[in-house]
Amino acid sequence: MSASDLIKKYNVPVPRYTSYPALPHWNNSLSAENWKNHFIQAYEEFGKSDGISLYIHLPYCESLCTYCGCNKRITKNHRVELPYISAIMKEWNLYLELLDEKPKLAGIHLGGGTPTFFSPISLGILLKHISRTSTRSEKFEFSFEGHPNNTSKDHLQTLAQFGFSRVSYGIQDFDQQVQVAIHRIQPFEKVKEVTEQSRQLGYRSINFDLIYGLPHQTLETMKATFQKVKELMPERIAFYSYAHLPAAFPAQKSFEAYLPDENQKRDLYEQGKNWLLEMGYEEIGMDHFALPGDPLLKAKYNNKLHRNFMGYTTSPSKILLGLGCSAISDIYYAYGQNEKSVDLYKEKIIGGTIPLVKGHVQNEANLKIKNLIMELICNHKASWKDLESLSEELLDQLLVFEKEKMVAFDANGVRITREGKPFVRNICAAFDPYMQNNKKSKPLFSKAI
């Protein structure tokens, strides 16, 4: 089968597998009391030894980036900062009340929205409270997402004082026509300035988010973007596929006519990947690249790469606690998502209630398949032991993948080939009973290509 035929066949909606089951497949069988009990159980089993990681969602942005699929709230009114920060601190306190000791933190990640919408003073108030009420694991890792246009030296200094050493800048593309279409104008000079400031202040890892498949992108325009990236050489690159979901995010309709088709989009990825490899980056897993010596690469080589709602990570922590509106938690035995509305979120917090709106309790079968899918998406392989309960239908599908040269079998099990890596989400979906049992339904997933 030709590359074009494979793209046509497998360019279908599938999960990104930052969780299993994927969020649209959660069973919502979770009461507030059950959630608290599962959190305490997970903390006793895993949190005491490995620590917990915090994801803090800061949803505000001053302007709308039309490509964006994140939960955000657009405003230029910065008086919203302290009431929202106060709500997050109160939510954190609700979890502290469940424990008989200060929890140990393995990591913190500030995401959004635009975390640097918040002033250094506001962020300092939040982080001071979290620092005062917790301890840190030996190998803690604190990171944040920064907008190059509004990440100031004061932001960088304040966060560094609290132990932050990693920053991810949302670049997306340096081409001016693309930036205008997606309403994300940021000059290269500004990106260079904030990158150099980060390094001067001791940040040991800088990540650039780049996206392929955006409106007006061509191989020529993207080559110019990668040449600018080469001037700055961030330690990591996240090279994401643009997820076009205009039914969920209507602003994406504004540039629909200018999107590359699926074959053009695949060409953008393959060429972009080649440019990164030529620069000296190595592929970690789906969408991610890093320079030699990076901890993610070391974890990959040692088969210790993990994946959660943050993407690929080196943290062994089995507890990722989400704070803030729409934040998602993975506490091993269960998943939970907070209220998406800022106002409803704050209302529940003021009422002293953990603001969950959706959840899922993991059963034994879920955990087994989760481990299998994580092996495939992190390490691109699975052992025969993991595959011991293969159904006849799944075995047939694996044989199809083998015929298409996407997987190969050996004495240890199945491994995903170089040709199959771009289709890793499709391969994982073959092992996902929720996808196989709901082939006629159309949950909200982006297409694989």
Looking at residue 313, what is its pLDDT?
A: 86
**Band of residue 60 on the pLDDT scale cut at 50, 70, 90:** very high
**Residue 279 in this model has a pLDDT that exceeds 60:** yes
Predicted pLDDT at 442: 54
Instruction: Report pLDDT for 98.
Output: 97
Burial of 379 (0-12, 13-18, 19+ CB in 10 A): middle
Q: What pLDDT score was predicted for residue 207?
A: 97
Side-chain-side CA neighbours of 240 within 13 Å: the count stands at 21
Distance (Å, whole) CA 82 – CA 206: 28
Mean pLDDT of the region 153-172: 97
User: pTM for the whole thing?
Assistant: 0.94
Q: What is the pLDDT of residue 96?
A: 98
Cβ neighbours around 388 below 10 Å, total: 7
- Distance of CA 31 to CAs 113, 347, 357, Å? 28, 18, 10
Give, to the nearest 10 degrees, the angle between helix 219-232 and helix 262-279: 30
Q: How many CB atoms lie within 10 A of CB 319?
A: 24
Give the closest residue to 306 by CA, choosing from 107, 111, 127, 443: 107
Phi first, then psi: give them for residue 148, nearest 5 degrees.
-55, -30
Query: What is the rounded CA–CA span in Å between residue 211 and residue 223?
Result: 13
At 423, give phi and psi (nearest 5°).
-110, 25
Measured between alpha carbons, how far is residue 79 from residues 71, 119, 122, 315 in Å?
20, 11, 11, 35
**In the chain, which segments carry CATH 3.80.30.20?**
31-361
In this model, does residue 304 exceed pLDDT 90?
no
- What is the pairing mode between strands 320-323 and 52-58? parallel
Least confident of 119-123, 193-197, 211-215, 285-289: 285-289
Q: Where in the chain is the domain with CATH 1.10.10.920?
A: 1-24+364-449
* Mean pLDDT within 307-330: 90
CATH 1.10.10.920 fits 1-24+364-449, yes or no: yes
Tell me what pLDDT residue 402 has: 94
Is the predicted pLDDT of residue 388 greater than 80, yes or no? no
pLDDT tier, 3 (very low <50, low <70, confident <90, very high otherwise): confident
pLDDT in the model for residue 441: 54
Q: Is the pLDDT of residue 35 over 70?
A: yes
Per residue, the 3-state secondary structure of the chain, as one string, reads CCHHHHHHHHCCECCCCCCCCCHHHCCCCCCHHHHHHHHHHHHHHHHHHHCEEEEEEECEECCCCCCCCCCCEECCCHHHHHHHHHHHHHHHHHHHCCCCCCCEEEEEEEEECCHHHCCHHHHHHHHHHHHHCCEEEEEEEEEEEECCCCCCHHHHHHHHHCCEEEEEEEEECCCHHHHHHHCCCCCHHHHHHHHHHHHHCCCCEEEEEEEECCCCCCHHHHHHHHHHHHHHCCCEEEEEECCCCCCCCHHHHHHHHHCCCHHHHHHHHHHHHHHHHHHCCEEEECCEEECCCCHHHHHHHCCCCEEECCEEECCCCCCEEEECCCCEEECCCEEEEECCCHHHHHHHHHCCCCCEEEEEECCHHHHHHHHHHHHHHHHCEEECCCCCCCCHHHHHHHHHHHHCCCEEECCCEEEECCCCHHHHHHHHHHCCHHHHHCCCCCCCCCECC
Q: Measured between alpha carbons, how far is 254 from 249 in angstroms, rounded to an integer?
A: 11
pLDDT surpassing 90 at residue 29: no
Q: What class is the 31-361 domain?
A: alpha beta
Residue 267 has pLDDT above 80, yes or no: yes
Round the average pLDDT of the chain to a whole number and report it: 93
pLDDT digits (tens, 9 = 90+) for 164-193: 999 999 999 999 999 999 999 999 999 999
